[in-house]
Amino acid sequence: MEKIAHLNKLKDQLFTVVSHDIRSPLAMQYQLIELLEEDLDSFGAVHQEIIIKLGEQIRHTLGMSNNLLEWFRSQREDVVFYPQLLELTEIMEECRQLVAIHSRVKSLHITNNILKDTYVFADREVVLLVIRNLLSNAIKFTQVGGTIQVSAQYSGEMVIVSIRDNGVGMDNEQIERLFNENQMYSSMGTAGEKGAGLGLLVSKQFVQLSGESMWAESVVGQGSVFYFTLRGGGNGESSYCR
């Protein structure tokens, strides 16, 4: 038992080191490439292509690192959530900014249909993680010039959030394989984007650990809709916060 405890301690120490020593440099590279992408028109065609490719690779690597670290955290028995009252529109706008450059490269239009003053009671980091991953997934599988719509509606005491795209879509078999914890599944995006399928799996695990649900509906050639539930926060003066 002492040996197991020692190994678990080493594992946690490794997790801390990896979190800082790998994610921090990647985040810095991400910020630098975003600065170049914002001024893309000032470069020649060859340099523009190089910057776009670099941006894709850095985003892919950073996204993989974040999801891998979050997956590792979800496997720990002592994972702790900090639910609080959140205004969902603000969270969505923050996520939209995080994927803005990526969506702009494919000329995608992301619409936030969530009504102002839609409150939920949830862990802020979990909600950010899930919406960001679902937006990234929608961007990956939507063709150039496509649309992505984010909505939320009340269902009793719950709020159902949906991310809808008009991308390539999936059949029922693909949907079942998406959330298979025993075998990660991924396919190439519409612009050749790669991935390990970890983002959706991590998102669903954190949603379930929070006591909520996630599912998907899709039609091949017409697009997909991903749903997840959150506990409603009423009018923003919920008793949860008292």
pLDDT tens per residue, range 116-129: 999 999 999 899 98
- Contact 108/101 with Cβ under 8 angstroms? no
Residues 55-63: what's their mean pLDDT? Answer: 71
- Contact 106/139 with Cβ under 8 angstroms? yes
Residues 9-27: what's their mean pLDDT? Answer: 62
Q: What is the 3-state secondary structure (H, E, C) of 178-217?
A: HCCCCCCCCCCCCCCCCCCCHHHHHHHHHHHHCCCCEEEE
For the chain, which residues make up each domain, given as ranges? 2-74, 83-241
In this predicted structure, the answer to whether residue 3 has a pLDDT above a threshold of 90 is no
pLDDT tens per residue, range 140-177: 999 999 999 999 999 999 999 999 999 999 999 888 88
- The letter for the amino acid at 227 is Y
What CATH number does domain 83-241 carry, 3.30.565.10, 2.40.160.20, 2.160.10.10, 3.30.200.20?
3.30.565.10
